Amino acid sequence: MVGFVVCVCVAEARLAWRSWFERDWRYSVQNMLLSTPEPIAGKTVYTQRRNRADRFVLAAMRGAKIPPYRGWSQAVADSQPRDYLLAAVSANESANLRLVGRDRELTLYQRTPGR
C-alpha cells in the first residue's frame, strides 16, 4: 500500500513539474480560445479535436455549443453566419470565413454573413 501511494505521489509531482516548467501556455489552444475577444457564448463551434481541455474551455468557460464534427467540408456546409470553426486546415476565400485566432496547431475561423 505504501508503494502505491509513493508511485501516485511521484507521478503527480512529475505531471506538475512538466506542466509548470515545460509547457508554454502562451501558445496553447486553450489560451487562444480564452484570449479571443470575440463573443463565443451561445455560438456553435465546430472543432475537429476531441481534446477534453479544449472542449472544456469552449463549453464551460466560453459558453459555446459543440456539435459532432463530421469533417471540414461538412462543418463549413452546416455552419451558419457567426458560427466558429476550429481546425488545422487553411480556409479558402470562397467559404466566407474570417480568421479570428491562430496557434501552433489550430486556426479559429468565424463564418461571415452571406454565402
Question: What ranges do the domains of the chain cover?
Answer: 25-111
pLDDT of residue 83: 92
In which residue are the cell numbers 509547457 written? 23
Position 1 pLDDT exceeds 70 = yes
Position 84 pLDDT exceeds 80 = yes
- 22-45 mean pLDDT: 78
DSSP 10-42: HHHHHHHHHHHHT--GGGSHHHHHHH--S--TT
What does pTM read for this prediction? 0.72
Please give the mean pLDDT across all residues of the chain.
Answer: 82
Q: What percent of the chain has pLDDT over 70?
A: 86
Position 22 pLDDT exceeds 70 = no
